[in-house]
Structures are given as C-alpha cells and as structure tokens.
Amino acid sequence: MRYAGIDIGSRTIELVVLRDGEIIESRQADSGFDPMTQAKDLLAGVEHDHIIATGYGRHLFELSFDALTVTEIKAYGVGARMLFPNVRTILDIGGQDSKTIALNENGKITKFEMNDRCAAGTGKFLEIMAHALGFGMDEFGVEALKATKDLHINSMCTVFAESEVTSLVAKGEDRREIALGLHRSVVRRAVGMLKRVSCNGNILFAGGVAKNSCMCSLLEDALEQKITVPQNPQMVGALGAAILAGGIC
C-alpha cells in the first residue's frame, strides 16, 4: 500500500509518498495562483492508495479531490517525531505563517501557538526585506552572517520595516548590518513564541526559513542550544500527513 501526504502552503506545495513506512517519492512545486492545478500536476503519475492533505489549501483540496484532511499542527507533530523521535518542540517558519508546537514524551501535542494573521516574522517578510536590500534569498542569510554588528530594526510590520530599510540604505548604512538586524528581529519573535509554548528538550526547525543559515545560527545563540534542521525542512508536514494516511501513527 502507498500512502500520500500533501501539504498545500501559501508559497509551496509538498508531496510525500510512503510504502512500508519508507519514503519512496517526494516532490515540491510553487503554489502559484492556481494551487489546485499545481497539486494535480504534482500528483501526475504518482501511485497512491490513500492521501491526506494539510496546509492552507487543504479544504480546497478536500473539495477538489475528495480527500481527507488534517491540521498543520498535527501533521507537523507526527512528521517531526517520525524524523527525530526525541523532538519535544517544533518551530516552523513558512512563507506566510509561523508556528511553535510542544510535544510530550509520547509525541502528543500539549500546546501550540500560530501566527497566521501577519507576515511579520515569516518567509515573506524576509523575502521582501532581501529584495529591498538587493539580495537574493539564497545569499541573504549568508551575507547577513558576514556583518560584524547589526543595526536594530524598530518595526516588525512588513510595510514599515521595508520603509525603514529603504531609509537606512539611503543613509549609506552597510547592507549586511541591516540584513543581520532584520534576521535578529525575526529571531526575537520566534524565540518569544517558543518560550510561550516550551523550549524543553530537542528543538526541530522546519519550513523554508530553516534553510537560512543566519536564522539557524542566531536561533542557537539566542536559545543557547543546538537546534535540529531536517535535510528537507519543508517536507515535514507532508510527511506527517502521509503517515496519518497510512494509520502508521
């Protein structure tokens, strides 16, 4: 039997297929302006017996494909435990939301917090700031780490922060120092969410922003502990949905 999980996010769509508890297929695509067409294309040629959807677009997927759905919180909790059984806290920063999840020793969710009303502290925030500074997303974190000091950014509102960055650039401030200040502002917000939920035990960092080396480094400094980043941090939700589709968990 083949069990699939699809995570339809605001920026990307991830697909994972399991057979006998092992990943046999994983795919990713941009959500675009028509995520259901993108999802259909992603599923093309993929054999599966059951599928569960999660993410922002799960309800639309349910209507379009007559599939079951699960919340992102549950999917991420299950996926994280599959990858790293000792994980007790999950931080996920995606394109347009961020979430923190606390798990007990049995992997059950005990508390969570989610920011899905504002782009502040999300991948979209970092994307807009990188563009304002003339950096590509792949180089944004790398260049920020080269700064010897950071410039404090007062606002976490995307609109106001972009205006503040533009003003700093116009004053001749170092772009790398501005970039480091922006990363620190996101980290402060993430650490606040983590502490309100739990910082006990091993922490897993998931989502697209987990691929940003500056974010990982600053988080470890702020938390004074190592964090775990999966090889494919954007696949955690889809993996959890696939596991649930198979009743493995």
pTM of the complete model beyond 0.95: no
Residue 113: CB atoms within 10 Å: 15
**Average pLDDT of the residues of the chain:** 94
Please check the confidence at residue 246 and state whether its pLDDT lies above 60.
yes
Residue pLDDT, tens place only, 11-44: 899 999 999 999 999 999 999 999 999 999 999 9
Looking at the structure, tell me whether residues 74 and 98 fall in a common domain: no
- What's the pLDDT at 155? 84
Nearest 5 degrees, angle CA 184-CA 152-CA 213? 25
Looking at the structure, tell me whether residues 98 and 212 fall in a common domain: yes
Q: Tell me the three state secondary structure of residue 90.
A: strand
CATH number of the domain where residue 4 is located: 3.30.420.40
- What's the pLDDT at 249? 56
Expressed as residue numbers, the domain containing 34 is: 1-84+232-249
Residue pLDDT, tens place only, 52-103: 999 999 999 999 999 999 999 999 999 999 999 999 999 999 888 899 999 9
Task: Give whole-number Cα distances, 210 to 3, 109, 158, 159, 177, in Å.
Answer: 26, 21, 20, 23, 21
Residue pLDDT, tens place only, 151-167: 988 888 888 899 999 99
**Helix 123-133 with 175-197: angle, nearest 10 deg:** 170
* Residue whose C-alpha is closest to residue 184's, from 138, 207, 135, 151: 151
Task: Give whole-number Cα distances, 59 to 7, 31, 127, 239, in Å.
Answer: 11, 15, 27, 18
Looking at the structure, tell me whether residues 16 and 133 fall in a common domain: no
Using 50, 70 and 90 to split pLDDT, how confident is the model at 137? Answer: very high
Looking at the structure, tell me whether residues 11 and 117 fall in a common domain: no
Looking at the structure, tell me whether residues 108 and 143 fall in a common domain: yes
Looking at the structure, tell me whether residues 94 and 187 fall in a common domain: yes
Residue 89 forms beta bridges with which residues?
102, 203
Q: Tell me the three state secondary structure of residue 30.
A: strand
